[in-house]
Amino acid sequence: MSASTSEEPLAAGSLLPSTERRLKLRKKRALRDGISRYGVGSSGIGVIIALALIFVYLFYETFPLLKPVSVEMDTEFTVVGDADAAPSLHLVLDRFEQIGGRFSETGAITFFDASTGVVRERLEIPRPEGETVTSFGRAESRRSLFVYGFSDGSVLPVKLNFTQVFVAGQRQIRPELSFPLGEEPIRIGTRDTEAYSALAIVEGRGGYIIAGGTEEGDLAMALFSSRTNLMTGAVQIQRNDFRLPDIGRPVRQILVNESLRNLFAIDDRGQLFVFDIVDRNNPFLIEEVNLVGEGVRVTAAEFLVGSRSLIVGGSDGTVSQWFLVRDEEAGVLRMARVRTFQSHSGAVTFIEPEHLRKGFLTGDDTGTVGLHYATSGVTLAMKPVGESPVSRLAMGPNNSRALITTEGSDLFRVLAIDNPHPQTSVSSLWGRVWYEGRTEPEFIWQSSSADDAFEAKFSIVPLSVGTLKAALFAMLLATPLAVMGAIYTAYFMAPAIRKVVKPSIELMEALPTVILGFLAGIWLAPYVENNLPIVFTGAILFPLLILVAGFAWSRLPQGVRRFVPGGWEAALLIPVVIATGWLVVTSSPWIEIWFFDGSMRQWFTDVGIPYDQRNALIVGMAMGFAVIPTIFSIAEDAVFNVPKHLTNGSLALGATPWQTVTGVVLLTASPGIFSAIMIGFGRAVGETMIVLMASGNSPIVNFNLFEGMRTLAANIAVELPETAVGGTHFRVLFLSALVLLMFTFVLNTAAEIVRQRLRKRYASL
């Protein structure tokens, strides 16, 4: 067969392919190079785009937390068909915020469409013949429980419910009044008295507590409970009256918290009298507090949901939050002014709390309405609604609409409120917050509770500190073992052993972290708790005896040492490690008896060091075990790949192997070793399952080795499946994910910068 017809045509008189063939080969190589270049480049760009999209998505889910509050005028109307011109005692909105209600001083309650003002229904409460309403009190907004006080000193509790019915396929909201203690007015107190100037009502487990105060400063309280006869259906009311100390001044407002532990009375000077009513037969005054400054009157006061915090408005426009704080020295509870909000330009006339959150509305005598949130301590909006003083406010259960009336006007105004995430602010997420019932501002993460009135605590600080705490303790164990092991394996160990040791350690990385976490939580944590001296004596004796064994080996005659081939010396440490382990285990009980009175754990508690079974020590041991293979593998490759001409040159110039390692090998391999440490640290920061199962998951802010922690990653894994999509908790979890990603991104970027500088610095070696 001729050359021209062969599969690989050659140039005449040459062993090389023909010119035509070479051109074809060049084109194929260029095509392959182009595909490889653009493929690798596009893959790298794809990774960058994917990372950017992760940032974008996390920021997209987090951004609603940053949106400003919107408070706009929705509508204005007059109630059509309401002939009652008496002043309003109270306003309400149903849970769908479609029906409004006005409680009048005549005892009438008018319900109307909250968009048009068309009257839907009018109800009347029974009242004594010829008597007028002189006072009005209510329980928390979410309870829809009220009490009327009449001019003869009697009172009448009333409960309001909105029910929905469907007529011809259309939903209709119908108000219903009920009288939990009967339709006949009742009396409270141990003596007949004139009309009450202030009333309060609370529903507790034992029944209803009603408290009242008079213009003379008399205070009265009674507990009412009802029993229904199953045979006749008759309701029997039982009454227990309790005598309270008089305050000697006109009572302007009286409040009882839902825990039924305290009664608060405010007089005409702005003085607050706090009573302990736990012992109903012996209530006593805890303290007297001045809520406002000299010459200032208390013009409005109301509990927030949960009745722990008291919001106080003054005639000078100030708005402040108060609650009981334990005085550790005296061992009693005292009222503390926790925070103040943006002041109004006029006297505060009304305060309306939200139903299920710690927010509230305030109105003043210049016609301005303020929206505030207690936990974050911020005033979210100030909205002028008219020129006359705001007389009454009502907020719907969904916190999206507010009903407002002003003095001297029959016009009703409705505000549309868009305020989905008031709990979060920079200060509440990253600063110390003084939460209800706490003695001082703290960093706390507690996202949920069984109580509807729970104050959500969304501090990111405990989670961030827990993340760093877990990673640092893991690195304290993993870094020296992995780096030193990598140096010895790459430079000193015999190749035959290295071929076994390195794959074995790298195989450790394949062990699922959920298994490590399970073993750490179920087996290691109880074992360490019961054998604490083993951990501490082992931490001292293992490195000490290994150093002693190495020193003794170096002092043996050369004739003895030559029996062990070079690079096999580590095998001699196996019996040393076994013997040290035996010594540590057998001596542990005696050490505990001699030095720690038989229990090292109890000794820690006695000296004021808290000890939890699942703690940072357990996490550090388990996570360190998981991180060692990552650091070891990268660091060993960096040391092993140091050019041989550098090490050989150093040895040829008379340096010892150890001098060569410290002066040449480590400097050249330092960028790789640093990268290994930072990659291991990043792995520890993002670890989830080990921390989840072995840390106790307590979001505390300290670096105590013997207490647990909660990390960002573990918190997301635990809480995200249980949270409502789109809620504040949901978005704060995404914010914590963004913080975790930013943390690792900044850390890795800084590590890469340091690595590049190390490479440039030692490139000339």
Residue 633 CB contacts under 8 Å (≥ 6 apart), including other chains: 486, 502, 505, 506, 509, 676
What percentage of the chain carries pLDDT values higher than 70?
96
pLDDT tens-digit map of 541-597:
999 999 999 889 888 888 788 888 877 888 888 899 999 999 999 998 899 899 888
Write the single-letter amino acid at 291. Answer: L
Supply 84's token pair. Answer: 């009652």
pLDDT tens-digit map of 134-184:
999 999 888 889 999 999 889 999 999 998 888 877 888 899 999 988 888
pLDDT tens-digit map of 283-298:
889 999 999 888 889 9
pLDDT tens-digit map of 199-212:
999 988 778 999 99
Model pLDDT, residue 757: 85
Bridge partners (DSSP) listed for residue 251 = 267
Q: What is the mean pLDDT of residues 11-26?
A: 75
The answer to whether residue 760 scores a pLDDT higher than 90 is: no
Model pLDDT, residue 14: 61
What distances in angstroms separate CA 528 from CA 76, 585, 614, 641, 692, one per listed residue? 70, 12, 10, 40, 18
State how beta strands 119-124 and 108-113 pair.
antiparallel
Write the single-letter amino acid at 669. Answer: A
Q: DSSP string of 624-635?
A: HHHHHHHHHHHH
The answer to whether residue 13 scores a pLDDT higher than 60 is: no
pLDDT tens-digit map of 456-501:
899 999 999 999 999 999 999 999 999 999 999 998 888 888 899 9
Q: Is pTM, for the whole model, over 0.85? A: yes
Average pLDDT of every residue of the chain: 89
Alpha-carbon torsion 533, 536, 537, 539, what sign? positive
Model pLDDT, residue 696: 87
CA gap 518, 535 in Å, rounded:
20
Model pLDDT, residue 58: 95
The answer to whether residue 4 scores a pLDDT higher than 50 is: no
pLDDT tens-digit map of 69-126:
999 999 999 887 676 678 889 999 998 889 999 999 888 999 999 988 889 889 999 9
How far is C-alpha 551 from the chain's CA centre?
53
Alpha-carbon torsion 237, 240, 241, 244, what sign? negative
The topology (CATH level 3) of 300-458 is Methylamine Dehydrogenase; Chain H (2.130.10)
What distances in angstroms separate CA 498 from CA 118, 494, 548, 666, one per listed residue? 89, 6, 24, 19
Q: What is the mean pLDDT of residues 636-646?
A: 90
Superfamily of 461-761 according to CATH: MetI-like (1.10.3720.10)
Bridge partners (DSSP) listed for residue 204 = 207
Q: What is the mean pLDDT of residues 517-536?
A: 92
Supply 522's token pair. Answer: 């179920």
**Domains 300-458 and 461-761 alike in fold:** no
Length of the chain: 765
Domain spans, the chain: 125-290, 300-458, 461-761
Closest CA to 117 of 73, 74, 76, 88: 76
pLDDT tens-digit map of 262-284:
999 999 888 999 999 988 888 88
Supply 545's token pair. Answer: 């005896």
Supply 566's token pair. Answer: 């070079």
pLDDT tens-digit map of 214-255:
988 889 999 888 777 777 767 778 888 888 888 888 999 999
Tokens 């000794």 correspond to what residue?
A: 603
CA gap 324, 692 in Å, rounded:
36
Model pLDDT, residue 624: 93
Model pLDDT, residue 707: 93
Model pLDDT, residue 332: 83
